Every structure is written in structure tokens, then in C-alpha cells.
Amino acid sequence: MKITGIEAMRLNAPAHELKTTPRRDGWATTAEVANPMSRYPEVKRHRSLWLPKWEGVWCKVTLEDGTTGYGSTGNGRVTAAIIDDHLGPRLVGESIMANEKLADKLFRLTSPFGAAGLASYAVSAVDLALWDARAKMLDMPVYELAGGPQKDRLFCYATGNDVDWYQELGFQAFKLACPYGPADGLDGLHKNVEFVAKTREQIGDECELMIDCWMAFDIEYTVRLAEALHPYKLKWIEEYLLPDDHDAHVAVRERLPWQTLATGEHWYTTYPFQWAINHRVADIVQPDINWVGGFSV
């Protein structure tokens, strides 16, 4: 079955209808959370002050029998242009079943200007749409195409700082969004420790607790905070460094051999994950299917 069309569709998902009421500001929108730009006072408080307000984008793949598949990602205007002007036209006419060939072409098509970053968002949307179309054509779920189900249950946790609400919803694992980073000095570090300590007291020792640092820390801050939080039995510390600073990841691993480290949300393609696993710099890698390069990666 041939691919007859690939196009970007700039759409935003409808707002979720909440059945219960949050207690705090959303960590991804208005609450103070440490981030890579926290050293600059004018945009320190939250990443919404400096991240572009681009729409979500979907990719639509059409097959010659009329079957359609859809894949989503972010950064609408930029990724839409890459899909419509570059990636899509080069895949039209190919067989939808040529999984490896299509994935390889998507990667190689972006090589001249970098396969990571925004290009990877576009690749992800196309790849996910290809898998969706393939599954619909064969009338089976994607997980069957990938080899069948592997688990009958998944470990789920709530991310953010509205712990009261998460407990009301029934969660027993919590990932806090770290409010302070190096720009807040020793006072901020103490506040982070106090926040984690209070949360551990609230949820008890039978629940899992993690922190998400969202690329905000440096080597020294990561080590000092991890050492201070050792008594509170964190399941992991997540994305503590700028993603491209591989040497810093090695240094943190060497200084915190006892701490479970998680990272990779803002890595793209397979290569940084292969590096991290081969060099054992992280215990948990966290690719995001919507921008790492899609399901094929």
C-alpha cells in the first residue's frame, strides 16, 4: 500500500474536563519551577515567560485506499513547515510497510541541518502518523505490530507540586517539580530540601518520591542537593543538567554512585541514549515519543 499524502495540521487538543479541583497553580504554566533560564531575573519565575507560544501540530498520512494516520508533536509553525516542505514530499509514493526504510529516510533527510531539536519534533509526528496508518490498514493496534503486549500494568506517578490533589486522585507515587536552582543560592537549596522533607512526611514511607529538575542545575548544585536529600529516599533525580553537557553527566555519575539518576527527556535520536547506557551515566532513560524521533526510535 502506497503513501499518497503527508501534511501538517496545526491543531490544539481540547482542554481536559477536571473531575476534581487542583489546589495549586499548574507546575507547567504558572508555578515557580527551576529551569534553564532561571539565571535571568526577567524570565526566572517560570518557563512560560520565555518559551515560544507555538501551537501543537499533527501530521496526517494518507494511503492510496483512503486510510489515514495521525501523529502529534509540538512547536507548530516550525515543525509544520519541515513536514510540509521537506519530509512529506520525500516519502510520498513509498510503501507504508517499509518501516525501516521510512525511518532511515526521515533521519537522513534531517542530517544536513541536524537531526535533533526541532527537526526531531517533525520527524516524530511523521513517524507516529506512519505507524498509526499502518496499524489501521492492518486492523490491529500498534503494540501488536511491535511484538505484542509486554505488561498488563504500568507504574504511574503524578508530576507537579499539588500533592494534596494527587493524593485525592489516588496516586501513590509523586514527582515534584523542583522550585529552586543555582540562581537561588543556598537559601533556595534549603527550601528545596524543606519542600521534599515535608512531602515525604505527608505521603509516608510507603509511597515513591522523585524530583524533576528540568535542566536547571549544574554539577555542584546537583551533588549538594542529592546529598542533602539522601535521607528522604528519592526513587530518582531527573534531568538535572543541560542535556548536551555530556561531560557534566559523567561527573555527576562519578560523584553520586549511590543515587538513581534519570534523564533523556530532551535528548533526540538514538545516539545520546546509546551513549548514556554504554557509559552508565544514567540508571533510567526517558525518551519522549513525541519528539525523540517517534515510535521507530
Under DSSP, is residue 181 helix (H, G, I), strand (E, B) or coil? coil
pLDDT recorded at residue 30:
65
Q: What percent of the chain has pLDDT over 90?
A: 87
pLDDT in tens, 96-138: 999 999 999 999 999 999 999 999 999 999 999 999 999 999 9
pTM equals: 0.94
pLDDT for res 48: 87
- Domains, the chain, ranges and CATH? 3-145 (3.30.390.10), 158-263 (3.20.20.120)
pLDDT mean over 195-206? 98
pLDDT at 143 over 70: yes
Q: What is the pLDDT of residue 67?
A: 99
pLDDT tens sequence across 55-107: 899 999 999 999 999 999 999 899 999 999 999 999 999 999 999 999 999 99
Angstrom CA distances, 83 to 24, 52, 69, 267, stand at 38, 19, 14, 20
| Cβ-based neighbours of 163, under 8 Å, separated by 6 or more | 174, 176, 199, 202, 203
Backbone φ/ψ region at 122: left (φ over 0), alpha (ψ -120 to 50), beta: alpha
Q: pLDDT of 30-47, one tens digit each?
A: 678 999 999 999 998 888
Please name which of 128, 117, 118 lies closest in space to residue 290, comparing C-alpha atoms: 128
The pLDDT value given to residue 28: 66
